[in-house]
Amino acid sequence: MPRGKAGGSTLTPVEPIKLEERPFIQAPKPRGSGITVPIEQIAPCPRNLRGDDLWPDLEERDRMVASLKRKGLIQALVVVDVEEYVAHYPEDEEAFSPNHRYVVVAGHCRLDAAPDAGLTELRVDVQNEHASDVDSIFLDENLNRQALTCFQEGEGYRRLRANKGWSDKEIAEHYGFGKSKSRVTKRIAILPLVEVAEARESVLSSERGSLSPDKAYTIISVVKDPQLVMPTYEMMTARNLDAREAGRLVQLSRIEAEKSSPPIPHPATSEESAPPASQSKDEQTHAPDGEQQSEQGGDTDGGETTGSDRTENVDNRTDDETETDNETSSETGSPQNSRLTDTEKQQIAADARREESCKLLVQEYREPLVDGHAVRTAATTLAMVGSQTVRLAHKWLSEVDSSQAQGYSSPTSYRDHVLAGQDGALMLQFAYAVALADDELRAQDRRRKPDFRVIRHWRYLIEAAKYEPSSWEQQYLR
């Protein structure tokens, strides 16, 4: 070996240098077994969110079939052993035949198209470690690749809530992909509409101007019964009402119909199934499936909102309030009860009678002594109050003879007119109606017990309008 240049190393190696041969590119080690098995041994997963709705259109399926014919299966299906799957989901055991050995976790579309492409065997990647997490995998796969319907999305969220015990906030953070917690809550809440054909089709066609998922959530939060969602929506559209007003009218109509027609006994009803005579009347009328509520608590429907917030509509509540309302629901994903308890019927009827008393007070309002300080206070109140309160106050004023509010179809336009004008008496009248509406909406809010403001509102109506409180209200007035 020649000597180095001046200043270089003078050491000469005694033995020749051995070079280790390594591949230029080292391929990653493939995961799973990568085995090829007959198609009849592979079963679709019963928990797949899409079910039979694998393809958005038939042309996409034709393209998949053509690709499998030309190139074969490029990417293996991710599967788990049937025994491993059933160990985590025993309720799905009957979905598999003795020939099934694997359950698909990822690759349902490829499995569906393979027979038409002439494939009799498919390569699978067995990953049993994912058997306990198929719900989150399905949600992840479908939300990233294809848009789920609002019901499929809600079912995925419901499963994570039920099986993992996650809150709606945790679901949104892990699998919401930028979606808000309230979206998770609303998608779960409208799941009962899947069983109501007309409501389901209307929600699914919401892109064409029908019932949107958010509006469906607002309505079902008010009426609670999925069967009443479409009648309420139709009344909202026909009479230009909000969900609270339309829902209450529909519920009152049903209550009156129940009073006028005797209940039809179920064919299976017998003396053995009748409640014991020793039970009280309330115990006999309350439902046995958890619908019975404590009247002393005042929170009669487990946190569900049947009225409006004091200033905003139901769908404008904070995320914390929405989560609290719905995380107490059953694992079926339905926070709604299909029947009203006796207490709830009393509350709905009392709401309607109180509103009539408020409207009477607005109608009998007399022009007060206009004071500059009072007018300024009224103007500040009108500017800061919520839109829901303004809407209810405007409704009462519109039904009063010779009221200027009749000329304004928009409540906010009428408020702007009053605030911009110089009529102090008119401003005080509107402020009085708004004060009544604000307290009345608070009284109709079922998410909290009646507080001192609600009780004060009841007592004012009793004194000023001769309002007769219901038995449910009387327990708080003692």
Amino acid at 43: A
Beta strands 77-81 and 42-43, pairing class: unpaired
Q: Give the list of residues 6+ apart from residue 212 with CB closer than 8 angstroms, or none.
A: 203, 206
Q: What pTM was estimated for this model as a whole?
A: 0.52
Helices 372-384, 411-420: axis angle to 10 degrees equals 150
Alpha-carbon dihedral sign for residues 352, 457, 476, 301? positive
The domain defined by 35-132 carries CATH number 3.40.50.300: no
* pLDDT per residue as tens, the chain (478 positions): 455 555 555 566 566 666 555 444 443 334 444 788 888 888 888 777 666 666 666 777 787 888 888 778 878 888 888 888 888 888 888 888 888 889 888 888 888 888 888 888 888 888 887 777 777 776 666 655 556 788 888 888 888 888 778 888 888 877 655 568 888 888 899 999 988 888 888 888 865 557 888 899 999 988 888 989 999 998 888 877 888 888 888 888 888 777 766 555 544 443 444 444 434 434 433 333 333 333 333 333 333 333 333 333 444 444 444 444 444 443 434 444 456 788 888 888 899 899 999 999 998 887 667 788 888 888 998 989 988 899 899 989 888 766 788 888 888 898 998 999 888 888 888 999 999 999 999 998 887 889 999 999 999 999 999 999 998 899 899 8
Q: Domain boundaries in the chain?
A: 35-132, 348-477
